[in-house]
Every structure is written in C-alpha cells, then in structure tokens.
Chains A and B, each alone.
Chain A
Amino acid sequence: MATEKILDVRDVSTAFKIDGHFYDAVTHVNLQIKKDEILAIVGESGCGKSTLATTIMGLHDPAETKISGEIDFEGTNLVGLPEDKYNKIRGAKIGMIFQDPLSSLNPLKRVEDQIKEVMDYHTDLSSEKKHARVIELLSQMGIVNPERTAHQFPHELSGGMRQRVVIAIAIACKPDLLIADEPTTALDVTIQAQILDVLLNIQKENHAGIVLITHDLGVVAQTADKVAVMYAGQIVEYGSTKQIFKTPKHPYTRSLLRSIPQLGGESDDLYVISGNVPSLQKMPASGDRFASRIPWIPASDHEKNPQMHEVSSGHLVRCTCYKSFYFPDQKKKKVANELN
C-alpha cells in the first residue's frame, strides 16, 4: 500500500523577477513522495523551502515568477496548470499548512466559516453536515470545546489553537498530499510536540503523503521517512532518514548535523556554519554554492558543476568531493573519513 506514488517533482526550478531579471530560488529540484510517507525538507532560512512548497501549490504570480520542470501530481502536471483546474486540486487533493498561524487566518471571519469555506468549494455537503465536519475536525485536532472554538474569531485563540484551525482547514477534505511549511516554528516547545502528534495521527487516519518543511533536525529524526537536504535552492542530499542521520555525506548535511549537539556525533563542540545562504542576486552562476562556507577546503577540491550521485540505494549526494571533505579540527582524520 505504501508504494503508491502521489507526487513526482522533476527538475523543477522557480525564478523570481527582481529588478527585471529572473533569479532562481529553487534550482533543478527532484523529489518523490508516496502515500503514507513523510518527506522532510531541511535547510537554513532562505534556502528555498517555502518557495518549493508554494511552487507545488501553484501560488506564485505567473507575471513575477518563472517555473520550469514538471510536477506530476497523481498523473497531472501542475506546472502551467490553468487556475480553474488548480482550484479543483488545491484544498481538495493537496492541503497546505503555512509557516505563520497568526496571520494565516482571516481576522474577520469566524473559525467555523473559514473551515467551511474549503468544503464549500470541494464538497456538496449540506450546511448541517459541514458544521458536523467542522466539529469533528476540531475535536480531532485535540480542541476540548469545539463548538465554542468554531464560533470564535482568530484573535480570540492562542497561536497553538490557530495552528490547529489551520491544520483543520488543510485536512478538511482529506487531501492525498499535505504540505506543512514549518508548522511548529512559531509555537513554543510543548505546543510544537502536540501539533506534531496531531499531524502524525491525521496521517495514520488519512494515509496522506506529507511534505514536512522544517529546520528542526530533531523533528525530522522523530517523524520523517525520507529527508531532502536543501541548500541555496538545490537539493544537496536525499535519502532515508536513517541514511541521512547515520551516514551523512554532503558537507552541508554534516555541518547541519554537527550544529546540533545530541545528533552530531562527529565532535562534542557545537558547530556553527560560517556565513549565510547567499541572496538570490548574489547566487554564484556557476561552480559550487556551498564552497564559500567551508573556506578551508582548497579550491582544487571543489567540483566545477557538482551533480547528484547515488552513493547507495536511494541515497543521493551532490558532488563527489564529499569523500575528501573534513572539518578544520579533523584534518588528520582525513584518511579515516575517506574510508567511510
């Protein structure tokens, strides 16, 4: 059952128009997701995670963005799909949870009406049935007094409650694919755990595929089946959660893992990746995008135009020079690393 492919993103690039020029925010991305599967997309702020999500949802203004490649969703190519066809898919077959629950709801509409709205367009349930579904969804979200919450306005709810409402909207029509863009970042830690539980429970019931965008590697380790590590618009490493956490290859993945103490393993010191993700305009046109952030690696070690390589079944890494990569304090272990 868990083999049915829902989404196949092939060679997708998204470019934004800035001062009359198009700059790639997402570059040649490939990924697949199946039913019942959670794919985590990780990477620092600004590396294009949200852009990829909204590209799949078709939320970009065609005048300001250029999207290429193919997004095969259950047999339909979403790239360039007309709005009216897209509107049949959005909300019904693909649900999306946004990064900021505080502003994602219309401040002037009651919770009930905002959840009902998605059903208005994708079901022909009677008003009573919709109400019943709203209450069912809200209780499923772990809301104690759903009737009361349904009648409230967003400003009367806490951040965690609002995010539950946002999730309720996303799953109201039982979509096959759920895209959750940092669903817990804006919330405090205890609420984060609750929201994640809610998501996982829903998945058990609905058998949806979930794209979980986050920069919290702890969350990834707990929930994801597969992980795509993104850097500066590109996927640099892709594999099962086990492959990524046990045998990370790419320097960026290793840097990320090393920057969280309990999962790193390579050193006890907390590692900080120097520098920042380059802005779109400053993105190097050729050569490698991560090179500037590992300055101790000699230029001759970097590939001109690194491509994805399969290192083991289903585990893909950009470039081959990961073989000789080392952290500054590991110079002497270089040989040991090569044996990896």
Chain B
Amino acid sequence: MWKTILRRILIMIPEIIILSIIVFLLAKAMPGDPFTGSINPRAGVAQIHHLMEVNGLYDPWYQQYWNWVVHLFHGNLGESYQYNEPVTRIIGQRAVNTLWLSLFTVVLTYLIALPMGIYAGRHEGKLPDTVIRFYTYVTYCIPFFVILVLGIWIFGYVLGWFPTTGSVSPTANGTFATIGSRFYHMLLPGILGALFGTVNIVQYLRSEVVDAKSSDYVRTARAKGVPINDIYRHHIFRNSLLPIAAFAGYSITGLLNGAIFTESVFSYPGMGLLFVNSISYRDYTVITALVLLFGILNIFGTLLSDIILSIVDPRIRIE
C-alpha cells in the first residue's frame, strides 16, 4: 500500500511541473507588460526596455520560468493590479473562507447523501425510494445556479431566514459572535451546495447497494446463515461505500467549480468570487495564481482519492 501511495505521489510531481509550465506560458501570453500599471505613464519606451532587461524579461523562457518558480517558492506571486496588494495576501483570507464553506458543504453533502443512498438502495422500489429518486432527478435537471438563485430568493429575501451576502456580519462582536455569524452565513450556501452535491452520490450509492444485494458474495453470506441486517452491515454497506470514499477527493474539483457559482450568487468573499471579479478586472496576476492553485488542488484531490482507494480496496494495492 505504501508503495502505491509513494508511486502516486511521484507521478504527481511531473503533473504539477507541467501544470506550472502551462500556467506560466499562459501568463506570459497575456496582453500588456507587467510595468504599465506601476510606473509613470509618461515613461518612455526606452525606460520600459530597460526595466524589462533588468528584470530578465528578455531571457529565454526556461530561464524566466525558473525565476518565476523561485519567486513562487518564496511566496512571491506578484501584485494585484486591482488591489495593489501582494496576491498572496489577497488570496489568503479568501482561501480560508472558501475552505470553511467547502468543508461545511462536503460534510453536509455526505450527511445527507449516505443515509439517502443506502436507504433507497436497501428499500428499492418502495415509496421512500421513489421519493428519493424523484428528488435526485429533479435536482439533477435543474442547473446549479437556478437552485442557488431560487434558494436565495425564497429563503433569503422572501422568508428572510438567512443572510444573502458576505461571510460574516460586520456588527458581530467577540469570538463567539463572530464564529456564530460566520456559520450563519455559510448555512444557506452550504445547504444549497449540498443539495446539489448529493445527487451523484445518492444515485451512485443506491445502484451500488442494489447491485451488491444480488451479488454472489451476498448469496454466500446468506448461505452461511448470516442475518440480513448483519449482511447489510458487514458486506453490502462496506462494499458500496468504498467507491464513495474515493469520491471525497474528486469532490474537491466539484466544490471549486461550485464555489464560483455559490460565491457569486451569495457575494461570499472566497476564491470563487475573487476569480470572477479578477476576470472582469483583467487582474492577470491574481488569475494566474488562482489557476495555479485550483490546478494544484485538483491534482491533490485526485491523489487523495487514489490514496483512499488504495487504503480501502485491497484489489488495487500493489504488493
């Protein structure tokens, strides 16, 4: 198992290098030069040439790439045009916000999806299963942003149960009040994200349970005289949950994509909203940093899935 994990981590390294080269070349290909915003607009072409020379921008691309990587390792991702602040500082707080919201969403998703999927699978064809399947079909058919807009409209504006913007109330005082307020702000976007996120898991889990029920190894267990409840516990649930455990890593991708919608609709100050804003402001340094970050997180998500899978499924362990 450790060999598999080590091998997987080794595979990840070239992935990240290739990703960083692509991101770097994309950043280079963006229009404009990095000084136009930060020096005297009346500076002559010669002066810009001089600055380019001094900053190594006429070096071959691999040399520049190397410099860029070195900067990266020093936590230097450049300055945001829009905020005139280091990119790291701008992303920092927002990343924390996104992290909390994503964590909350993912926990909620699994809390809802696992019992639903298992129940629907076990009681296949009964009324609750029909209701759950109806729910998943409906949610599947509605685009995510429609769910968000409907949700914010009904529960935020019409009923007024939840705040509709921000990540914390500006009037919250003291640690507890702040934590409470943060949680309150995460509730509605988290629930809506979870409702959407459950669909795949419920459908997948349900069909896994249904398949497992009629599998040969379950029949063997029944022939051993194992009571049906124990068969569900020791065989069916365990084997059906396994592929779901691996989903956890991949769900990072889904959460990041989701964050772009959720944070835009809820004006929640996280990386998703930052990304959308940076695009409309053409804040290239921020965009580059975010693309790199999203890319790395995706690679880590896949790695996480593979590691989980190699822990839970003996068949893919390489001895």
Contacts and interface: CB of A to CB of B under 8 A. Distances in A.
Whether chains A and B associate is: yes
B225 A92 contact: yes
B49 interface: no
Main SS at interface, chain B: helix
A108 B215 CA distance: 13
27 contacts: A57-B222, A57-B223, A59-B222, A59-B223, A83-B227, A83-B228, A87-B227, A90-B225, A92-B225, A95-B223, A96-B223, A100-B216, A103-B215, A103-B216, A103-B217, A105-B217, A106-B220, A106-B235, A107-B239, A107-B314, A108-B239, A118-B225, A121-B225, A121-B226, A122-B225, A155-B315, A166-B220
Contact of B242 (A57, A95, A108, A153): A108
Given A83-B228, A106-B235, A107-B315, A91 B223 contact: yes
A90 B238 CA distance: 23
Interface in B12-62: none
Interface of A: 57, 59, 83-84, 86-92, 95-96, 98, 100, 103-108, 117-118, 121-122, 153, 155, 166, 169-170
B74 interface: no
A91 B314 contact: no
- Chain B contact-residue range equals 20 to 34
A104 B227 contact: no
Given A98-B216, A100-B216, A106 B228 contact: no
A95 B238 CA distance: 25
B224 interface: yes
B7 interface: no
A58 B298 CA distance: 49
A19 to B, nearest CB: 15
B313 interface: yes
Contact of A104 (B220, B225, B226, B242): B220
Contacts of B239: 106-108
B226 to A, nearest CB: 6
A171 to B, nearest CB: 12
A121 B228 CA distance: 12
B89 interface: no
Contacts of B226: 87, 91, 117, 121
A118 B224 contact: yes
B220 A105 contact: yes
B219 interface: yes
B77 interface: no
B9 interface: no
Contacts of B215: 103
A87 B225 contact: yes
B291 interface: no
Given A84-B227, A90-B225, A117-B226, 5 more contacts: A57-B222, A98-B220, A107-B217, A108-B312, A155-B315
B265 interface: no
Contact of B315 (A83, A87, A153, A170): A153
B219 A155 contact: no
B225 A89 contact: yes
A169 B220 contact: yes
A155 B234 CA distance: 19
A91 B226 CA distance: 8
The 8 closest A-B pairs by CB, nearest first: A91-B225, A90-B225, A91-B224, A103-B216, A118-B224, A106-B217, A87-B225, A96-B223
Contacts of A170: 223
B314 A90 contact: no
B221 interface: yes
Given A98-B216, A103-B215, A108 B225 contact: no
Contacts of B238: 108
